[in-house]
Amino acid sequence: MFKDLDPLLHSQLRLAIMSLLISVKEADFVFLKEQTGATSGNLSVQIDKLREAGYIDVEKMFQGKMPRTVCRINRVGVEAFNAYVKALQDYLK
């Protein structure tokens, strides 16, 4: 039968973040905001949810005097994303 879809990845914005991160080594907050069109507050909340789930690693630093947040998908996140895509493909068969 059909597998359950990961509710964490079933959110449009979280899925967009994961889709972007799976194709790059890392992405900063500004890039993710521009690509997704999300507000800063919403993007921040969704990044925190993905980090808390163990799907991404987040590094906060300063570049000069400006804060910079960099996100990277990790092994757990790649596995979760691939399982989600596989489950979706099964729905489409």
State both tokens at 3.
Answer: 């597998």
Domain span holding position 17 = 12-88
Q: What is the pLDDT of residues 39-70, one digit of tens each?
A: 999 999 999 999 999 999 999 999 999 999 99
Q: What residue type is assigned to position 89 of the chain?
A: Q
Q: How many domains are contained in the chain?
A: 1
Give the CATH number, domain containing residue 36: 1.10.10.10
User: What single-letter DSSP state applies at residue 23?
Assistant: T
What letter does residue 37 receive in the DSSP assignment?
A: -
Q: What is the pTM of this model?
A: 0.93
Question: Looking at the domain assignment, is residue 41 inside a domain?
Answer: yes
| Residue 7 located in a structural domain | no
Q: Check the CA dihedral 60-67-8-17 and report its sign.
A: negative
Structure tokens at 82: 């691939």
Residue 5 lies in a domain: no
